[in-house]
Amino acid sequence: MSLRHALLALLTVEPMTGYDLSKAFQASVSHVWHAPDSQIYPELRRMEADGLLVGTEVPWGPRGKKREYSVTPKGLDAFRAWMNEPLSYTRERDPAHLKAAYLEWAEPDAARAQMHAHIDAYTARRDDWRDKVREIDTGTSTMLEQRLAHAPASEHASIRAYKRYTYEGLIARAEHEIEWAERGLALIDELNADAPTAAHRTRADAAPPAT
């Protein structure tokens, strides 16, 4: 149900078409929540059916048309209700840590490659999020500036602060993941210092026991 609320968050700024939304999504929310357009369009229809949005046909060129959605009072209520109730936390499900727990099965070099992939993935995210923070600070984030333009000046500080807070949390998390993977690289080196390749070969034959 998070997609629904992410869309509501964007539409509270101003009415948009599905296409606009999928672009806005990529530019802003996607750093926190990703969704392809094939998920956005049907969800908008469902939200309209549920009375959270109203869609109006807008002419586009001589023959074309597009559908612009705006939030209804009911939609606003739903969004506020979601914001005011705490999330339910689902249990951990993390492929990287799952793999790490059984890393003795991997070739040392494959284990290292895994760690490098982890580092690369989180480095990219960290840089991405750092850009977002910079955009917030310099006022070059289109979505944020539009949101601010539609909000009373008294709230500008909060809006900016929460966005910044969110991305800073994500940056710190990414840095933690990078550190973790770097410790992983050190650990792999340490464990393979004496027997670089022999360890795996014995393991390979160990699992199917000859009965």
Judged by CB under 8 A, the chain residues 91 through 110 that form the site for a copy of itself are: 91-107, 110
Reference 51, options 8, 16, 104; nearest CA is 8
Stretch that binds DNA, among 75-83, 87-95, 109-117, 141-149 (CB under 7 A): 87-95
Minimal distance in Å, beta carbon 187 to a copy of itself? 6
Contact 51, 118 (CB under 8 A): no
Contact 72, 55 (CB under 8 A): no
Contact 21, 10 (CB under 8 A): yes
Contact letters (x/-) for a copy of itself, 175-204, by CB under 8 A?
-xx--x--xx--x---x---x---x--xxx
Query: For residues 172 and 180, what is the distance between their CA atoms, to the nearest angstrom?
Result: 12
Q: Which of residues 138-177 bind DNA (CB under 7 A)?
A: none
Q: Does 148 bind a copy of itself (CB under 8 A)?
A: no
Query: Among 15, 27, 31, 41, which residue interacts with DNA (rule: CB under 7 A)?
Result: 41
Residues with Cβ < 8 Å from 43, sequence gap 6 or more? Answer: 3, 4, 7
- Reading the block at residue 69, the tokens are 């959605």
Q: H or E element: which one contains 53?
A: strand 53-60
31 burial type by CB count under 10 A (0-12 exposed, 13-18 middle, 19+ buried): middle
Query: Among 49, 73, 90, 152, which residue interacts with DNA (rule: CB under 7 A)?
Result: 90
Q: Does 17 bind DNA (CB under 7 A)?
A: yes
Q: Which of residues 46-85 bind DNA (CB under 7 A)?
A: 60-64, 66-68
Stretch that binds a copy of itself, among 16-24, 38-46, 52-60, 79-87 (CB under 8 A): 79-87
Query: Among 86, 93, 152, 207, which residue interacts with DNA (rule: CB under 7 A)?
Result: 93
Minimal distance in Å, beta carbon 59 to DNA? 8
